[in-house]
Amino acid sequence: MPRSAVSPAPRSAASAPAADGARGVWLQTFRRVRAETERRAAHLSAEDQIVQSMADASPTKWHRAHVTWFFEQFLLVPHDPAYKIFDERFPFLFNSYYVGAGPRHARPQRGLITRPNGEDVAGYRAHVDAAVERLITEVPAADAERVFTILEIGLHHEQQHQELLITDILHAFAQNPTDPVYDAQWQPPHAAQGPRGYVAVPAGIHAIGHEGTGFCFDNETPRHDELIPEVGIARHLVSNAEWLEFIAAGGYATASLWLSDGWALAQAEGWQAPGYWRQHDGAWYVMTLAGLKQVDPAEPVLHVSYYEAEAFARFAGKHLPSEAEWEVASRAGLLADAFGIAWQWTRSAYLPYPGYRAAEGALGEYNGKFMVSQMVLRGSSLATPEGHERVSYRNFFYPPARWQFTGLRLAEFV
Ligand SMILES: [Fe+2]
């Protein structure tokens, strides 16, 4: 795995020569990540950027402003005495869930905010960009390591929102009867070819979690030992063809395949197929970034919830891998399409690793306070920014979620 694309500098950036060397790299990296957000938003009109199609999804304009607030709140205000807040009303509007950073606007109502408008948000971004670039250039060497550490978190945070920007607008477009196109040139990544089947994960005690000096989120630590049983993991992701078999066999109508909560939700929501799938004249179509397309049987299934993934595994007489099994297999190079197509549900609850401690202060709210009632997904998706993926990366969502690019691979115990 490549090291993160936003980890260009060694952590020991505090000494003057290293700091001076790192400044130029951080400047370039900051500009590149900020530009990627704007590149993704540029496919969207001002109207597109306001809409919020459900409480879990945020408007594009909000994403652009929130990642900017993150730098203002956690980098500029504490570390730049000369920094002037762009607009005193913005922290309330663009704080997401950081209770320690002050009160905030209700998440389900983000789509009601037509003002500040897109131009105001562009001005906010430019104001913060200039201040961050000044700080990178001028921060005293003695403070550089702390500043660059927070800058790095902010950049990875912005990359996470780059993915959410895409998944959230796709959800909005999927509610639109005209099937809007995000990017007519967009092509789905193709699944790896080669023999399917299961690969044996080396049984025994294996270390999992982040290692090395590159960036990671705190939830990937501490690195620790896990006992891996005799288990095989599917080399490939579950395909649409396999999912069509599940549908044809009555998978969505067979209660015995489902967890109780999943069955209740599937009934209440009328689930008959993965998210964004629609049937016309006997053929299945799916809403994609390039608009409505016929489902390609050869491609991996996307937009399935944990409940559906678990039901499919039971239907297939298999299981979902644990996150430790997934990581050991991935580190051993055993998995095709581990990254870049679909986040893969695991059977692991999102819990702290042994000895995990969240950081002090509001930034400690980033991951730790969500470690209940969610499931871990591994890998990365087609919407994950280049270089953001890691073998130890722990994504997490609630079991009903299916607006992300979520799929699965199976495991079997022999
Ligand atoms: Fe955020």
Q: What average pLDDT does this structure show over 282-301?
A: 98
Distance 98 CA to ligand 1 centre (A): 9
The rounded Cα 17 to chain-centroid distance in angstroms is 35
Q: For residue 375, what pLDDT is reported?
A: 98
Q: Peptide bond preceding 116: is omega within 30 degrees of 0, i.e. cis? A: yes
Q: For residue 361, what pLDDT is reported?
A: 86
- % of the chain residues with pLDDT over 70: 95
Distance 94 CA to ligand 1 centre (A): 9
d(C-alpha 3, C-alpha 385), whole Å: 13
Hey, is 200 helix, strand or coil? strand
Q: What average pLDDT does this structure show over 50-78?
A: 98
Q: For residue 120, what pLDDT is reported?
A: 98
Q: For residue 19, what pLDDT is reported?
A: 55
- DSSP string over 177-233: TT---S-TT--PPPPP-S--SEEEEPPEEEEES--SSS---GGG-S-EEEEE-SEEE
Q: What residue spans of 284-389 are helical by DSSP H? A: 306-315, 323-331
Q: What is the dihedral of CA 129, 133, 136, 139, to 10 degrees?
A: -100
Q: What average pLDDT does this structure show over 275-298?
A: 97
Distance 261 CA to ligand 1 centre (A): 28
Q: For residue 18, what pLDDT is reported?
A: 52
Distance 211 CA to ligand 1 centre (A): 25
Joined together, the tokens standing for residue 158 give 């912005």
* pLDDT exceeds cutoff 90 at 10: no
User: In this predicted model, what pLDDT tens digit does every residue of 75-87 receive, in sequence order?
Assistant: 999 999 999 999 9
Hey, is 28 helix, strand or coil? helix
Q: What is the mean pLDDT of the chain?
A: 94
Element (H or E) spanning 164, and its range? helix 141-174
Q: What average pLDDT does this structure show over 158-175?
A: 98
Distance 46 CA to ligand 1 centre (A): 21
Q: For residue 20, what pLDDT is reported?
A: 67
User: In this predicted model, what pLDDT tens digit does every residue of 236-270 receive, in sequence order?
Assistant: 999 999 999 999 999 999 999 999 999 999 999 99
Q: For residue 166, what pLDDT is reported?
A: 98
Confidence of residue 276 (pLDDT cuts 50, 70, 90): very high
* pLDDT exceeds cutoff 60 at 397: yes
Residue 341 gets which letter from DSSP?
B
Q: What are phi and psi of 399, to 5 degrees?
A: -55, -30
Strands (E), 185-334: 198-201, 204-208, 224-228, 231-234, 277-280, 283-288, 291-294
Beta-carbon contacts of residue 54 (< 8 Å; ≥ 6 apart): 171, 403
Look-up: residue for tokens 């079991």? 399
Distance 168 CA to ligand 1 centre (A): 14
Joined together, the tokens standing for residue 128 give 């913060």
Distance 198 CA to ligand 1 centre (A): 37
Among 96-100, 192-196, 310-314, the range of highest mean pLDDT: 310-314
Distance 147 CA to ligand 1 centre (A): 19
Q: Residues with Cβ within 5 Å of ion ligand 1? A: 96
Distance 159 CA to ligand 1 centre (A): 10
Look-up: residue for tokens 């400690």? 364
* pLDDT exceeds cutoff 50 at 3: no
d(C-alpha 187, C-alpha 300), whole Å: 14
Q: State how beta strands 231-234 and 224-228 pair.
A: unpaired
Distance 363 CA to ligand 1 centre (A): 11
Confidence of residue 360 (pLDDT cuts 50, 70, 90): confident
The rounded Cα 146 to chain-centroid distance in angstroms is 25
* pLDDT exceeds cutoff 80 at 24: yes
